[in-house]
């Protein structure tokens, strides 16, 4: 979601949450999604000049007992929270990238069958952008309800509606899973890392 003209990140988040509350959405607690980047250790690359691989270790407060490990354009591993301990033991293979932690925190809203999460994306102490996640509870095949999602999004995002997420590309009729959400957060965080200002929204 782009920052509103003449406003900062926090003011834009407040604007969005006010719109949701005016629609009749009710607060349902808070949420947090965080991501730490790891790169393959130099000792494992050999002398071929291979490019190191990046792995993103993520947590989502909606799934408190799980940890997600994602490779860019690769698989998503879902493990229990002890995976963080395993990463410490694998430091000979994967090393944490310096100052790579990025997270989004905010408020969850329920509006009829929609769950909406509006968050402030931060890296270190600074706010870098805004995330918006929308879930339509009764439907498990995202393509079946995409038009309904767009119509709902328009009611509080106006013209800032994104195209269908890339994660749906080859999986038109697939059942939506938590891994699909985490892939979208990984893509959102990577866009934000590459930008100073953040005209980006993350949506499912």
Dihedral angle sign, alpha carbons of residues 164, 26, 189, 88: negative
Residues 6+ apart with CB under 8 A from 42: 52
DSSP string computed for 79-108: EETTHHHHHHHTTTTEEEPTT--EEEEEEE
Name the band, by pLDDT with cuts 50, 70 and 90, for residue 95. Answer: confident
State pLDDT tens for residues 6-41: 788 888 899 999 999 999 999 999 999 999 998 887
Task: Indicate if the alpha-carbon torsion angle 33, 180, 131, 15 is positive or negative.
Answer: negative
* Band of residue 200 on the pLDDT scale cut at 50, 70, 90: very low
Q: Is 37 helix (H, G, I), strand (E, B) or coil?
A: strand
E strand map for 16-61: 26-40, 54-60
Quickly list H helices, the chain. 9-23, 83-89, 142-157, 178-193
pLDDT tier, 197 (very low <50, low <70, confident <90, very high otherwise): very low
Rg from Cα positions in the chain: 18
The reported pTM is 0.86
Residue 91 has what pLDDT? 80
**For position 48, what pLDDT does the model report?**
56
């Amino acid at each position: 979601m782009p920052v509103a003209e003449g406003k900062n990140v926090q003011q834009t988040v407040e604007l969005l949450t006010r719109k949701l509350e005016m629609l009749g959405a009710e607060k349902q607690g808070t949420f947090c999604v965080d991501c730490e980047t790891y790169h393959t250790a130099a000792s494992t690359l050999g002398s071929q000049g291979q490019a190191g691989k990046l792995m993103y270790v993520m947590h989502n407060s909606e799934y408190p007992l799980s940890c997600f490990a994602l490779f860019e354009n690769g698989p998503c591993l879902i493990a229990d929270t002890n995976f963080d301990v395993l990463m410490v033991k694998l430091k000979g293979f994967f090393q944490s990238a310096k100052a790579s932690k990025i997270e989004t925190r905010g408020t969850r809203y329920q509006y009829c069958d929609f769950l909406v999460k509006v968050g402030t994306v931060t890296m270190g102490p600074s706010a870098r952008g805004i995330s918006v996640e929308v879930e339509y509870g009764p439907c498990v095949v995202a393509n079946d309800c995409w038009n309904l999602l767009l119509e709902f999004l328009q009611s509080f995002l106006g013209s800032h509606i994104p195209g269908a997420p890339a994660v749906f590309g080859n999986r038109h009729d697939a059942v939506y899973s938590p891994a699909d959400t985490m892939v979208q957060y990984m893509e959102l965080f990577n866009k934000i890392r590459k930008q100073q200002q953040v005209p980006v929204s993350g949506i499912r």
